[in-house]
Amino acid sequence: MRLPPGPGPGPAPSSFWDPDPSLPIRPPVTDAAVREAERVLGVTLPEALLELLRVRDGGVVSARHNAFPTSAPTSWSADHVPLDHLMGAGPDPDRTTLLDTPYLVEEWGLPSPVVLLDGDGHCWIALDHRLCGPHGEPSVTWLDAELGTELPLAPDFRTFLHGLLPENAFPDES
């Protein structure tokens, strides 16, 4: 199987989000919400993530940046993982946010400390603080709760962003 071309230039914070005006648009995250999220999570969030959340505090990712190539097959696909939605850092009673990470980690038996960015319960994309500590630059990891497997994706969030591609860049697996 042939993987798509290498990492792209990385999305600008304003072009990372889906531009569809019919989708709910969250306001930018506030400094107070970031401080509270970091307190609740017990970690420092990466600046590259905060740059995105300062444009929109979570939401649907643009189709130009909604998949990340993998070095090995996962339960999702032979060659990539999806990034459909990026959780915000501020509180939101209507959707899952980074603040839900402690509950979700316990509920799904995930390793800790991680910060969940996107997922459906069975599989997650997460910031992984296990090696760097709570205030270091976390790597990005794919976690499969059902299979109990992990797959490192990128050494840091900025590298992860630069590796995002459109899902339609991957061969059809049907």
Burial of 36 (0-12, 13-18, 19+ CB in 10 A): middle
Q: Which of 19, 13, 9 is nearest to 60 (CA)?
A: 19
- Interval 13-30: pLDDT, tens: 678 999 888 888 889 999
Which residues are registered as beta bridge partners of 144?
123, 149
* pLDDT band for position 94 (cuts 50, 70, 90): confident
The whole-model pTM stands at: 0.90
Burial of 13 (0-12, 13-18, 19+ CB in 10 A): middle
Q: Taking a C-beta distance cutoff of 8 angstroms, is the pair 33, 49 a contact? A: no
